[in-house]
Structure 1
Amino acid sequence: MYDYHLLDIEFEYDAQTQVITPIILRDARETILVDCGYPNFARLLKEAAIRYDVTLESITKLIVTHHDMDHIGSLAALKRAYPHIVIIAHELEAPHIDGTKKSLRLEQVEATFDVLPDEAKPHAEQFMNLLQSIEPIAVDRIVTNNEQLPWCGGIEIVHTPGHMPGHMSLYLPASNTLIAGDAVVIEQGQLNIANPQFTLDLDEAIRSVQRLLDYDIEQIICYHGGLFRGDVKQALKQLIHAYTS
């Protein structure tokens, strides 16, 4: 048996109110956090977790879906405060998390900077500075596609590239739940691709959504948008159709 809690965190960013949804998974022995927000989000995570009687000290594992800064920004700070936490990431993401390789998001911004209009460059420079400020941290356990983790009734690693090459989602067969990361988001009640204009490989992202049809999914937890219930398979098919028709 296990339970899960959506840590809906509302905050101001770039003059807009935003919400992200890290997830706590908990069974008799493990307390697992999936993704951890922007830099300096430890306090917000603590406040969100305590609503479910979960303390950050009790977290045993921290699974990272990919290395965008809103998913790993507080990773190093959490590891420093709670060194027992085991950090888990996909094999393609680990070098970008531990600093062996440059952030792919930073490479993307750098590659397009010169063609930006002058009025957009200060914002891009600010974004690059923030990306460069993310503190690298070693990954304790590297996972691969279809790997089965033995916690919370079983967690299957689902490699869902596109948004980033090493992006992964998590399938929980005990409850037919998919933790999507940024493989899909919820916008106006519908599933969509996360920031398609910034997705590193949009065609691959659509193929990843197609692969999700192989799973018996009754609900999807999106990092941006929260919980999606209903006819998941039909919603995924509509999303695919929207980008391929």
Structure 2
Amino acid sequence: MKIIELPIEFESNGQKNYIYPSLIILNNELTLVDTGYTNFFTLIENEILKNRHEIKNLKNIIITHYDDDHIGSLYDFKERCPWINIIASEIESKYISGEIKSERLVQAEEMLENMPNEEMEFGKWFIQQLKNLKHVSIDEKVNDGDMILDNKCKVISTPGHTSGHISLYFPSLKSVITGDAAVKENDELVIANPQFCLNVEKAEQSLTKIKNLKAENYYCYHGGKLTL
């Protein structure tokens, strides 16, 4: 088993940006963690091909949490690869499937009410982005401590950024895939966008929780891999 980070380059507001979804290879089967923004299917597929793997071997997609940069292309993956098993936490699955209005959309609509005029346009655009996300049903709902991927991966509940956020711990690889429970900044693990965290106190606790795993490799969706 191994983990490969997939550096996905894109432009936003005229600036070059990156996200780093993870690809887990186990017994020639692939598991993708998070799917980028809407219309990122081809970008991610190309990166998988660069690593000499094929999308036809993609067995699972694990979603760490409901945010447009993590689930944006989930619908496209399911459309093009209908056999894929989609895994998410019990809590987040309700938002991803559209059963309940997402926390992020509720937060964005509440923030819009008190937003300064100069930020109003962005606020409205962001709300529309969230509303445009297509719902996908979850095949496998997981909770804290569950062992998945042939018992090689432990689900770690890391609420704060969102309430059902999960990270993934691989004891045999001494590695953690953090989602947005941690980002890499100046070769350190820090909280992702504290201003957008639904609960900063819980986000701090979750960051401590994954640091306490004392892994050697932390695969951060924002900032990339940190090796300690």
Q: TM-score range by the shorter chain?
A: over 0.9
State the one-letter code of the partner of 1:90: S
Give structure 1 stretches of 5+ with no counterpart: 231-245
Q: 1:217 maps to what in 2?
A: 215
Q: 1:235 maps to what in 2?
A: none
Q: 1:140 maps to what in 2?
A: 139
Q: 1:63 maps to what in 2?
A: 62
| Segment drifting more, 47-56 vs 197-206 | 47-56
Give structure 2 stretches of 5+ with no counterpart: none
Contact 2:28 2:57 in 1 (8 A): no
Q: 1:28 maps to what in 2?
A: 27
Q: 2:180 maps to what in 1?
A: 182
Q: CA RMSD in A?
A: 1.2
What is the aligned length?
A: 228
CA offset digits 1:47-83 (Å, max 9, x no partner): 1111111122210000000010100000011101100
CA offset digits 1:129-176 (Å, max 9, x no partner): 11100000000000010001143x600000000000000000001110
Q: 1:197 maps to what in 2?
A: 195
Distance 1:21 1:41 in 2: 12
State the one-letter code of the partner of 2:181: A
Q: 1:165 maps to what in 2?
A: 163
| Segment drifting more, 9-18 vs 126-135 | 9-18
User: Shift in Å at residue 29 of structure 1?
Assistant: 4.7
Aligned partner of residue 180 in structure 1, secondary structure:
strand
Q: 2:152 maps to what in 1?
A: 154
Distance 1:95 1:131 in 2: 15
Contact 2:190 2:207 in 1 (8 A): no
Distance 2:149 2:127 in 1: 38
| Segment drifting more, 63-72 vs 29-38 | 29-38
The alignment's TM-score, normalised by the length of structure 1, stands at 0.90
Q: 1:239 maps to what in 2?
A: none
State the one-letter code of the partner of 1:176: K
CA offset digits 1:162-211 (Å, max 9, x no partner): 00000000000111000000000012322211001111100000111222
Q: 1:96 maps to what in 2?
A: 95
Distance 1:213 1:84 in 2: 35
The alignment's TM-score, normalised by the length of structure 2, stands at 0.97
Q: 1:52 maps to what in 2?
A: 51
Distance 1:187 1:170 in 2: 20
State the one-letter code of the partner of 2:189: L
Aligned partner of residue 195 in structure 2, secondary structure:
coil
User: Shift in Å at residue 213 of structure 1?
Assistant: 4.1
Aligned partner of residue 127 in structure 1, secondary structure:
helix
Q: 2:117 maps to what in 1?
A: 118
State the one-letter code of the partner of 2:174: N
Distance 1:41 1:212 in 2: 28
Give the ranges of 4+ consecutive aligned residues of structure 1 lying more than 3 Å apart after TM superposition.
none
